Amino acid sequence: MSKRSASVTPTGPQGSAPAIRNKRPSWRDPRIIAGVVLIAASVLIGAKLMASLDDTVGVWALRTDLSKGSKIADSELTVTQIRFTDAATADLYVSADDEIASDTSINRDLQAGELLPRSAIDAEPRQELIEVPISVESANLPATVRQGSTVDVWVTSKSAGASRPDTAATLVLPEALVIAVPTRSDSFAPESSKQVILGVPAKDSQELADALGVMSEGSIVITRRR
């Protein structure tokens, strides 16, 4: 009796391929690793950028030009954010966190836009000054004299000349501070004389009285110190 081979008839559609299941992505997939690295790098770069923005320091800067001896007003200052290379350099300038007293004056000329250096601020408040107007011939006043200049006031005898060559000038106001040099804006004609307003320490009021008496009897010559 011959044996018949058993055959199995497929139950699915004839010729259909076996189903393939989608595999769950593995953490070892290079694409996932690359994505994680990119995200981490973006976060690191962003954090570094934000940190660098925080490195700026607010310092005072000048809105306008200021001359030596001028007092600093709040309206003449503005805050500027600066990134300094080190703390020592930043300490050379006045921080915006520092309050500037109303009687603070500077010891040199400063220009608009310049950072306010600590070295330009007078170490001590300027003493009380008496403003003294002096009229002087234009030829006896250096053209370089301006607000903030330090000058000496000399008096020569009006009778001095060829007949009295031995007459020496007298120094009546040494190291006087120029408060202002008014100009006439309503005329283009040359001025034969100019007015200079000097600041004399109040404690020297007696010396000022003596100087004014001498100036009334002679010709005034102003020299500038540099």
Examine the domain organization and report whether 109 and 137 are in the same domain: no
pLDDT at 23: 58
Q: Residue 77: which of 96, 57, 92 has the closest Cα?
A: 96
Residue 218's domain comprises 129-225
Q: Residue 114: which of 99, 130, 92 has the closest Cα?
A: 92
Alpha-helical segments (H) within 54-187: 87-90
With H, G, I as helix, E, B as strand and everything else as coil, classify residue 60. strand
Q: Which of 125, 160, 178 is the last residue of a domain?
A: 125
Examine the domain organization and report whether 144 and 61 are in the same domain: no
Cα angle at 175 between 170 and 177, to 5 degrees? Answer: 125
pLDDT at 10: 53
Examine the domain organization and report whether 110 and 145 are in the same domain: no
2 occurs within a structural domain = no
Q: Which of 125, 150, 176 is the last residue of a domain?
A: 125
Task: Give the residues across from 157 on adjacent strands.
Answer: 218
Examine the domain organization and report whether 208 and 140 are in the same domain: yes
With H, G, I as helix, E, B as strand and everything else as coil, classify residue 5. coil
Question: In the block, which residue shows the tokens 């100036």?
Answer: 215
pLDDT in tens, the chain (226 residues): 445 555 555 555 555 555 555 556 556 667 767 777 788 777 777 766 665 555 788 999 999 998 887 888 888 999 999 888 888 888 899 998 888 887 788 888 899 999 999 998 886 666 778 999 999 999 999 999 988 889 999 999 876 554 555 568 899 999 998 988 887 665 455 678 899 999 998 889 899 999 999 998 899 999 998 8
Distance of alpha carbon 169 from its chain centroid, rounded?
A: 42
Report d(CA 196, CA 183) in Å as an integer: 10
Report d(CA 211, CA 155) in Å as an integer: 9
Task: Give the residues across from 176 on adjacent strands.
Answer: 151
Examine the domain organization and report whether 70 and 136 are in the same domain: no
35 occurs within a structural domain = no
Q: What is the CATH classification number for the domain harbouring 99? A: 3.90.1210.10
Looking at the structure of the chain, the number of domains it has is: 2
Q: Which of 125, 150, 172 is the last residue of a domain?
A: 125
Report d(CA 215, CA 154) in Å as an integer: 8
Examine the domain organization and report whether 69 and 107 are in the same domain: yes
pLDDT at 100: 84
Global confidence as pTM: 0.50
Report d(CA 36, CA 15) in Å as an integer: 43
With H, G, I as helix, E, B as strand and everything else as coil, classify residue 187. coil
pLDDT at 77: 92
